[in-house]
Chain A
Amino acid sequence: DGGITQSPKYLFRKEGQNVTLSCEQNLNHDAMYWYRQDPGQGLRLIYYSQIVNDFQKGDIAEGYSVSREKKESFPLTVTSAQKNPTAFYLCASSIYGTGLYEQYFGPGTRLTVT
């Protein structure tokens, strides 16, 4: 089955700890994205990568970091500098270069920091 996997589904951390969320895709997509969703709100872009070894900040990158060492993988680290890390995190991917760039989403990771 082609798709996007995110793990774990639920994640609990103590304040002050860094935590890494996993995102893997087997769609052979060039571009990958990380979004944050808070209750009752739309999605806000954290980081995105259109090619391996390159990534750009989105609208709310402060307190987050990413890497893109492989085409299939785009892990997100939520650092202790992120003031309000508790949220639902969604990873997506799309073709990049020419075409529709239709984005496909993973199932999400719900992070709770106490």
Chain B
Amino acid sequence: KQEVTQIPAALSVPEGENLVLNCSFTDSAIYNLQWFRQDPGKGLTSLLLIQSSQREQTSGRLNASLDKSSGRSTLYIAASQPGDSATYLCAVRQETSGSRLTFGEGTQLTVNP
């Protein structure tokens, strides 16, 4: 059974710092990996989706990398801002699970002004 782990569970940084969020998964037979952002009491917003054949995806100040063979993904946030404060979740889609996603528990990020 696929398990997804995100470390750290919480992170507090000063504004302007570059930071990395980690996601690991136990079964490397994935189709893709998706990073989401969740603000308190809100739904999820998709940030980046990486196909299993890709190494990285970029959107603005965000860069997500994927090392499928080692079961790891990172989300890099450059020049963090207070508006980046949120919970970040990663989710993987298995090759054999159709369209289902398995989620990690998230990293709660606080960017201090």
Contact = CB atoms under 8 A, between A and B. Distances in A.
B100 A107 contact: no
A40 B108 CA distance: 9
Given A100-B49, A102-B49, A45 B100 contact: yes
A106 B43 contact: yes
B105 to A, nearest CB: 4
A23 to B, nearest CB: 11
A42 B49 contact: no
Nearest to B106: A42
A17 interface: no
Interface of B: 4, 31-32, 34, 36, 41-46, 49, 51, 89, 91, 93, 98-101, 103-106
Interface of A: 4, 6, 31, 33, 35, 40-45, 48, 50, 58, 88, 90, 92, 94, 96, 100-108, 110
B88 to A, nearest CB: 11
B104 A42 contact: yes
Given A100-B32, A103-B34, A108 B100 contact: no
Given A43-B89, A102-B46, A107-B43, A58 B100 contact: yes
Contact of A48 (B41, B99, B104): B99
Nearest to A95: B99
A58 B100 CA distance: 9
Given A45-B101, A48-B100, A103-B46, 7 more contacts: A50-B98, A50-B99, A94-B99, A100-B49, A103-B34, A103-B91, A105-B36
A41 to B, nearest CB: 6
Contact of B41 (A50, A96, A108): A108
6 contacts: A41-B105, A43-B44, A103-B34, A103-B46, A104-B46, A108-B41
A24 B100 CA distance: 19
A40 B105 contact: yes
Contacts of B106: 42
Nearest to A108: B43
B32 A105 contact: no
Contacts of B103: 35, 42-44
